[in-house]
Amino acid sequence: MRIAMIGSGYVGLVSGACFSDYGHDVTCVDVNQDKIDQLNNGEIPIFEPGLQALVADNLNAGRLSFTTALASAVAQADVVFIAVGTPSRRGDGHADLSYVRAAATEIANALKGFTVIVTKSTVPVGTGDDVERIIAQANPKANFVVASNPEFLREGAAIEDFKRPDRIVVGIEDERARPVLEEVYRPLYLNQAPLMFTGRRTAELIKYAANAFLAMKITFINEMADLCEKAGGDVQAVARGIGLDKRIGSKFLNAGPGYGGSCFPKDTLALVKSGQDFDAPLRLIETTVAVNDQRKRAMGRKVIAACGGDVRGKTIGILGLTFKPNTDDMRDAPSIAIIQTLRDAGATIRAYDPEGMDMARTIIEGIEYATDAYDVATGADCLVLVTEWNQFRSLDLDRIRQSMATPALVDLRNIYRRKEIEDAGLSYVSIGRGADSGDHDGDQTAATQ
């Protein structure tokens, strides 16, 4: 199949590379010439494990190419995927569909022959109808159908998720799209990936509903963590105890500083706005958004409390800046609000992240960026573990203690045991472990966001 992928950001690039790896002829389109030049030279503008090698292999095989020429890519394509950004619109929180609409107009003017146009961007319910209307108005003679095919890719594990998906959701209103998209995903039949066909609006809602449910799950266990701290429980044991119930499951039950990233914050907010638009308010999601926003600042106050209630003039070391490990994504990362809270209280910040430093420098100014975890600890009055990168899981605690001005660790991801830290001579504060609770290991792998 000949595929045009409009948008070479995270979703478009991963999807395009994976489709080409299945043998399809894929052209990824982007308006940014510098990005296209980088990609054609094998340079990847984002960090995603395995992506650079995948792109290079398929570039060399001639199955994958990058261009700014949308018209020629669309004219030759059997399937056109729209994978442009849908950020939160400033001022009201609605999804900004300007890029989707602009792409639809350009696609309309370039269509040649029957073409299936697929929205892969995360879009509010009814967007497929808008895309169909825009194309029909711009090119009344166009022979096309519009489908929805939302992505369910986790940053840091996107290639694995694409190649071994839990499900492939395809929303259609015209049966002519079915055999085409079955052929696009035919290579996945070997992995027995369920291909689920629904109505187009249903597919659009599935994406938002999935992300909102997971965001609620994270927020629920974070509130349980607060209760555990007050009541003397252990949130990791609570999470394991409820996660063993197959109706609940263990994933997304790690207490922490709140969710962030490119999906959950904007998608929960957009879903709330859709509920309001359709006069079907989503109270649980509204509360989830509010609680999560408040939690990030609360984590900054937790660090201040661990430092005796005052951080003015103190140096706080931050381990991890990205919203999760194995990505360089800083969008809505909890570290941003935590650092701002600490700076507002008069602290000096020194931070390190294995992959997110370049992106962080464009977002967080006025802090010192360190060379590694031990550089962060040197002279620090408190060390705060914000993102659970693997390299932070087995730090040389004796070296950490000796280099710090005040040996104290605030572990916002619960990756260490209290006894282990205290035996090394550091004070220890974690999430959701009351003073009288035990110190159990949680399921640290199953709950990764």
What per-residue string of b and e applies to 400-438 under the rule 16 or more CB within 10 Å gives b? Answer: bbebbebbbbbbbbbbbbbeebeebebebbbbbbbeebe
Residue 78 parent element (H or E): none
Sheet of 115-119: strand order equals: 64-67, 25-29, 2-6, 79-82, 115-119, 144-148, 168-171, 195-198
307 flagged as catalytic: no
307 Ramachandran zone, left/alpha/beta (phi>0; psi -120 to 50): alpha
* Set 18, 263, 307, 382: catalytic member: 263
DSSP 3-state assignment of 128?
Answer: helix
**CA pair distance 105, 109, nearest whole angstrom:** 7
Nearest to 271 by CA among 342, 371, 204: 204
The residues, ordered by sequence, that sit 6+ positions from 18 with a Cβ below 8 Å of its Cβ are 54, 159, 162, 163
Query: DSSP string covering 93-114, please?
Result: --B--HHHHHHHHHHHTT--SS
Q: Which residues are catalytic?
A: 263
